[in-house]
Structure formats: C-alpha cells, structure tokens
Structure 1
Amino acid sequence: MIEKKIKIKNNNFLRAHYVAEFVNKSISYKSNITIAFDKKEVNAKNIIEVMNLRLDIDNKIEIKASGEDEKTAVIELKAFVNDETKTTNN
C-alpha cells in the first residue's frame, strides 16, 4: 500500500465536473484507491462518496492505493489534485 498526504492548493474540489474527472482518473487504475479526510475514508472511484467529503482549499487529504499500479496511481492523482492549470476561481 502506498499513501500520500496532500494539501489541496486550489478550489477545484468545489466543482462537480472536477470531482468527476478525478473519479474517472481513479477508475482508470487497477488498484483500490481511497481518500481519507476528517476521520472518513472513501472509495476514490465513487463520485458520491468523494463529493460527500465536501473538500475545499487548504484541506489535507490522504490518497491511499493498494494494487499492481499503486505507485503510479498515487503519484498521478496527487499531481492531478494540485494541477494549477485546472484551477477555477468562480
């Protein structure tokens, strides 16, 4: 299992379309992937569970992956979360 703590640096997780992109990216990996936040741990491949975390800028989350592509999944999802080119300020 690989775990990576991340501080959310932009407000993307307020946008449903961004969360959908994140979930779709998570689904593309064979590993089991979860997000831990505020004493909750949810399936990163389930949009309802991820949306219910109500993540916001400056929240600290932990992405966990277990499986054959766990390292790649965590690295790429971390990069996706804080990709400044995807920032929306509305």
Structure 2
Amino acid sequence: MISLIKQLIEIKSKNFSQAYYVAEFVNIANSYKSYITFVYNNKEISVKNVIEVMSLRLDIGDKIVLKANGKDEKYAFMKLKGLII
C-alpha cells in the first residue's frame, strides 16, 4: 500500500534562513528512508539536498507543502515539521 502525508505549513522558525540550520535539517532528513519534499512556488524539491533547499530562500512566514512518502514517513514528517514550525 502506498501512502503519502502532506500538509501546508507556515515557516515559523527564525533559524530556517540560516545555512547551518538548513544543513542540519537536511542531515536529519537524510536519516529517514522516505522520499521527502517541499513544494514552494510551484516547485517541488527534495529536502535531502541542501543546495535545493537553500535555493528556495525560505524565511519566516513563507508557506510550503511538506510531503513524505515511505516506510518511516510518519516519523520523518513529524520530526521535520517540528523543525519548521
């Protein structure tokens, strides 16, 4: 059975515009097996690629869709969501 978790999330973490924080976020994302993406301005990128995440230039108040799909999607989704809000 294929499932998918997705939710529109407003970025509330003031750290999310800092390169070091984004690198840590990506490292955590890479610890999960699930396929995890952001959708922002009609562009979908892997959250496991620091260059792609940084290219979005996200900041407080921006709204993204977080998607997770895979065996550990629930854990990945909740952990990463917690780092965004």
TM over 0.5: yes
Residue 11 of structure 1 deviates from its aligned partner by 2.3
- Aligned counterpart, 2:63: 60
- Aligned counterpart, 1:49: 52
For residue 17 of structure 1, give the secondary structure of its aligned residue in structure 2: helix
Matched, 1:77 2:80: yes
Amino acid of the residue matched to residue 75 of structure 2? T
Distance 1:5 1:12 in 2: 19
TM-score, structure 1 as length reference = 0.86
> After superposition, what is the alpha-carbon deviation per residue over 1:29-76, rounded to whole angstroms, capped at 9, x for unaligned?
000110111111101000000000010110001110110011111111
Unaligned stretches of 5+ in structure 2? none
- Aligned counterpart, 2:41: 38
For residue 28 of structure 1, give the secondary structure of its aligned residue in structure 2: coil
Moved over 2 A (4+): none
Give the superposed CA RMSD: 0.9
Identity %: 54
